[in-house]
Chain A
C-alpha cells in the first residue's frame, strides 16, 4: 500500500513536470504580452525595463530553467499584471473561497445524489422512479451556467429571496452551490441507481435478508457498500473539478475565486500566474485520482492496486 502510494506520487511528479513544460512553452507561444493593457504610451525603454524586471528578455529556454529552479525551491514568482503580488499569496487568498464553495457543492451533490439514487433504485412506486430519472436526465442536460441564470432569475430577480452576488452569508451559498452541484447530483443519482439495482439482486442480499437482518441494515451495509464503487471513482475527479472552481459560476455570481482568476490570468498573459494556477490544478487532479483509486481498493478488495 505504502509502496503503491509512493509510486503513484512519483509518477504524479513526472506528470506535473511535463505539464509545467507544456504550459510554459504554450503560454509563451501565445501572441500578445502581459504589458499590453497598460502600455498606452509605454516607451520602448520602459518596455525593455519591464521585460528585464520579470526576466522576459532572456531566451525562452533559459526562462524555463530559471522558473523550474525557483519553483523547486517553492518560489512561484511574482504576478506580472498584479503589481507586487506573489503568485503564492494570490493562491492563498483566492483558493479558500473556491474551495469552500466547492466543498459545499460536493457535500450537497453526494448527499442528495445518493439519497435520490437509493430511493429510485428501491422504490416500488413507479411515479417516484420516473420523477427521479427525469430529474437526473434533465440535470445532465442543462448546462450549469444556464441553470444558474434560470434560478438567478426566479429566486433573485422575481421572488427576491436570495442574494445574487458574492459570498457573504450562508444564503449566498445556496444558488452557486446548487448550480455547481446540479450535474454531479444527476450523475451520482444515475450511478447509484444502476449499481444498487444490480447489487440488490445478488445472492448475498437474499442471504442477509433470510438471516433476518433489518432492511435498513441490508441496504446500507450490504447493498450500498458494494454499490459504491462507480460513485467513488466518479467522485474523485468531480471533487477536483469543484474545488478548482467553475469559471462561469464564479463570473455569474461575482465570486472572487480561483476559477475566475485563472481565465483572467490567461487573457492578461500573466505568465507566472497561469503557471502557478495550472500546477495547482494539475496537482489537485493528480492527488484526487490517487485518492479515488485507493478508496476504490479499500471498498472492493478485489481491485488490486499494484496494476
Chain B
C-alpha cells in the first residue's frame, strides 16, 4: 500500500473557475414549517377569502358596537322597519333598532361561542382521545363505550337540560355545546394517536427513555396537529350552527340577547312584509360558516401536503 502512495504536488491542483464556486448555493430561502404552510395556504384563493372575511367579521364584532352611535337595544319608534340608509346601513327592525349593530353584537356572541367551545373541545379531545389511543386495550374499550353512550343520547336533550339547569346564559350554552361536540375531537385524536404510536419515532423515543406523557404530547400529538386543526376549524361552524338553531327554535339563549339565531327568528313573521331584514342575519350566519369551511379545507390541504 505504502508504495502506491500518491504525493499531491502543486501542479496537480488548479484553482476552481469562478463560475463553479457557487455550485452548493441554495437559491431559495429555507422555510420554516409555518412559512411553508402559509405559502401553500395563500395559493388557495377561497381559503384566503375565508380568512379575510373572518378577520373583518371579528374586527366588526369588536368595533362596530363600540363606535356606533346606536346601542343594540336602543329603540327609535319613529324609524321602524326602515330600509337601509346612510344612517342605518342595514336598516332598522320592527322596534326601530339599528340592524347593523344588532348583527355585529350577534357576531360577538356567535364567534365567542364558536371559538371558545372549539378551544375547550381541543383540550378535552386531546386528553381523552390521547389517553384512550395511547394506552389502548381495556381502558380504550371502556372509554369508547362511554363515548358511544353519550353519542346515542339525542344531543338536543343535553343542551336543553343544561340550559334549564344552569339558566340560558352564553356560558351554559358553551357548556351544552361542548358536551355534545367534544366526542368528534376525541375520536379524531384517538385514531391519529393509535396510528402514530406504531411508528418508529415513537419507539425511538421510548427506547431513549422518554416518559409516556412526553411521548404523547411532544411526539404523537404534535404529529397529529394537521388533522386536529382541520377538525377544530370544522367545530367552530358547527357550534355557531347549534347556537343559532337553538335560539331560532326559541330554547336557546335568553331572548334579550341578539344572537344570530334569535335575529333570524325575529324576522320570521316579517318574511311576508319586510323580507330585506332577514338577509342580514342569514347572510352573516351563512357567510361565516362558509368562510370557516373554506378556511378548514385550505388549512387541511396546506398541512396535509407535509406528509
Could you list which residues of chain A lie within 8 angstroms of chain B, going by C-beta atoms?
11, 15-16, 18-19, 22-23, 26-27, 29-32, 137-138, 140-143, 145-146, 149-150, 152-153, 157, 244, 247-248, 251, 262-263, 266-267, 274, 278, 281-282, 285-286
Nearest chain A CB to B15 CB, angstrom units = 54
Beyond the given A30-B164, A149-B264, A263-B251, please list 11 additional residue pairs across the A-B interface where CB-CB is below 8 A.
A15-B152, A18-B149, A27-B161, A137-B297, A138-B290, A143-B289, A146-B264, A146-B285, A149-B271, A248-B249, A285-B154
Residues of A within 8 A of B165 (CB): 29-31
Q: Could you give, for residues 202-244 of chain B, a 1 whenever the CB lies within 8 Å of some chain A CB and a 0 otherwise?
A: 0000000000000000000000000000000000010001001
Question: Is B112 located at the chain interface by the 8 A CB criterion?
Answer: no
Verify B286–A142 contact, CB threshold 8 A.
Answer: yes
B8 contacts partner chain A, Cβ-Cβ < 8 Å = no
A22 near B153 with CB under 8 A, answer yes
Contact present for A143 and B156 (CB under 8 Å) = no
Residues of B within 8 A of A18 (CB): 149
List B contacts of A146 (CB < 8 A): 264, 282, 285-286
In the assembled complex, B268 has its CB within 8 A of some CB on chain A: yes
Residues of B in contact (CB 8 Å), total: 35
Can you name the residue of chain B whose Cβ is closest to the Cβ of A237? Answer: B151
Residue B272 at the chain A interface, CB threshold 8 Å:
yes
Chain B contacts for A153, CB-based, 8 A: 271, 275, 278
Contact A145:B271 (CB < 8 A) given known A266-B157, A266-B160: no
Q: Contacts A31-B164, A251-B249, A266-B160: A152 and B271 contacting too (C-beta < 8 A)?
A: yes
Complex contacts, A26 vs chain B, CB 8 Å: 157-158, 161
Q: Which residues of A contact B289 (CB under 8 A)?
A: 141-143
B residues 149-202 touching A (CB-CB < 8 Å): 149, 151-154, 156-158, 160-161, 164-165
Measured CB to CB, the residues of B under 8 A from A are 145, 148-149, 151-154, 156-158, 160-161, 164-165, 237, 241, 244-245, 248-249, 251, 264, 268, 271-272, 275, 278, 282, 285-286, 289-290, 293-294, 297
Partner of B285, one of A143, A244, A274: A143
Partner of B282, one of A16, A149, A247, A251: A149
> A251 — which chain B residues lie within 8 A by C-beta?
249
